[in-house]
Chain A
Amino acid sequence: MGWRATLAIGCCLLLLFYFRDHPALEAPRQFTLDTAAIVYRVAAAPKSAFVGLGDFFQSHSTLRSEKERLEQENLVLKGQTQKLAAVLAENGRYRALLRSAETLEREVMVAEIIAMTAARSRHELVIDKGTADAVHVGQPLLGADGLMGQVVRVGQYSSHALLITDATHAVPVQVLRSGVRGLAEGTGELNRLVVRHIAATTDIEEGDILVTSGLGGLFPAGYPVATVKTIVKQPGSSFSQVMAVPIASLDRGRHVMLAIELAPSGSQ
C-alpha cells in the first residue's frame, strides 16, 4: 500500500511539475482535450435537446416578432457598416498622411461554445474549433459585443479559452474617450474587472468605455472590453481603484468569434 501510494504521488508530481508543458506529451494532451470536449458535449446533450425542443415549438407570432426585430437590427447594422467603410477609408488617408505604421486587417471565424469547464475557480470555455481549423494558443476570443478572452489550450478539434474575468487574466486597455492606458484584470467574478495602474489624477469617469489598446501585441487594438462602473479615489493613495463591467455577455450566447490575423494590408 505504502509503496503504491508513493509511486502514484510521485507520478502525479512528475506530471505536474516536469511534464506539464513538455513537448513530448503534446499528442496525448490534444487527444485528452478532444475527449474531454466529447464528454462535455454528451453531458450537455439533454440540455441542448431541451433548448432545441423549445425553439421548435416556438409560436408563430413569437417567430414573426423575432424576425421583425432581426430585420430592423440588420437594417441598422447595414447602415452603420456603410458609415464604417467611409470612416475606414478616411482613417487610411490620415494614416498615410501621418506615415504611421500599417494596420493589421483581421477576419473572424465563428466557433460554438460547448461548455464552461468544471474547474470552479477558473473561467474557461470549451469551444469546438482546434488546430484542424488553425486555432492557436493566444488567439483572441470575441463575443458579439466585445472581447471575451483568449485561447489557452488547443486540441485537434476543440480548444479551451480563458475568459477576461478569470483571476489570472489581464488585458491592456485604453479609455476610449481620453486614450488613458491601463490594465484590466479579472477578479474571478463574472461581472467585475479591476483596472490597475490608473493614477488618481487621471482623466477617467464612470461610464467610460475601455477598449483593447493593442499593447503587448496579443489582442488587436480597438475592441470594446468593459464599461467603467465605479472609481474610488482614496486620499493618500496615488492610484484610484477602478472597477469595470465586461461588455461581452460572458455567460450567455452559444457562439463566439476567433480573430484571425491576416497579412498586413497597408493603408486601407
Chain B
Amino acid sequence: MEALTAEVVVNTIKELGSMVLYIILGTIILEILVYLVLGKIFKSKYTLPYMLMIAAIFGIAMLVIYPIGYEVRLAFTNMSLRHFRSYTLSWAQGLKNFGLIFSEPVLKQIRFFPLLFRTLLWTAVNLVFHLAGGLGLAILLNRQMRGRGFYRALLVFPWAVPQIIAVLAWKGEFHYEYGFINVMLKSIGMQPIQWMISPFWNFAAACITNIWLGIPFMMIIILGGLQSIPLEFYDAAEIDGASRWQQFRNITLPLLKPVLTPAVVLGIIWTFNNFNVPYMINANELETTDILVTALFRSAFEYHRYGFSAAFAIIIFIVLFIIASVYIRITHGLKGAYE
C-alpha cells in the first residue's frame, strides 16, 4: 500500500506547479501576440476583449475543439488495440465504420436502434418522474406551514450526496439477499426481485436510482419559480370562480414556463448523457441496461474499437443535438438568453 507521505505531496505540488507556470508563460506570450497583431497592425477597437478571451479561446481550442476534430479523424480510421500505431486512414474506412453502426451489433448483441429506443425511453421515464415528483413536492412545500425548512433540507439530500457514492450505495441495496428493498419485500411476504440478473429489473433499478437522484433538482428549481408567482393572481382567480385545477393550468403552469424550459433542456441533456447510473448499477455487464453513452464507453474501452467508437460518438452527438434543437425550437426556450 502506498501512503500519503511528504514526498508525495512535494512531487504533486512540483508537477502541478510547473504546469501552472507553463500556462502563465503561454498566456503572457498569447497576450503579447494578440496585442501586437490586433492592436498595432490592425488597430482594432476590439483588441481588449480579444485579449481578455484569448486564454480561454486557446484552452477550449486545444482541449475541446482539437480532441473533437481528432475524433472525427479517428472515425475514418480502423484504429483498435491491434492497430494502435499502424492504422489506416481512408474515406472507405470511414464509410465502413458509419455503416457498421447500423448494420452490425454495436456491442456483442445489441444493435443501434434498440439502443436508441432504450435511451429515449430512459430519458422520457426519468424526466417524467423528475418533473412529476419535483412539481408535486414543490407545490406541497409552497405554503406556510411548520417544518417547511426542515422538509426542504431533508428532501435535497439525494442531490447533495456525491453521485458516485449514491449510485454505488444503491447498487449495494439491489443485492438479492442483503439489499434493503428485497429485505422489505420479503418481510411483507413478497418474492424478492433479481435486480442484478433480470434484464427488466436491472433497467428498472437504474431508473429508480436516477429518479431518486434527480427529483430534488427539479423540486428546488420549480419551488423557486412558484415563489415568484404573486398570490394576488390566485385570489383574483378564486373570485372569478376558477377551480383549483383551472388555477393550476392557467396560472401556475404558464408562469412556471420560463423556469421550467431551461431546467427541462438541462434535464434532457443530463439524462441522455448520464453515464454513471446505468454503467454502475449494471454490475453484470448486461447489454440490456446499456444506453447509448455507456455502449459508447464499452465499445471504446472494453472492445477497444477506437475508430468505430469515434464514429459512434459522432452519431450520438447528432441525435442529441437534433432532440435538443427540436425542443428549443418548439418552446422558444432560449429566446432572449443571448442579450
Do chains A and B stick together as partners? no
Could you tell me which A residues sit within 8 Å of B by CB distance?
A: none
Could you tell me which B residues sit within 8 Å of A by CB distance?
A: none
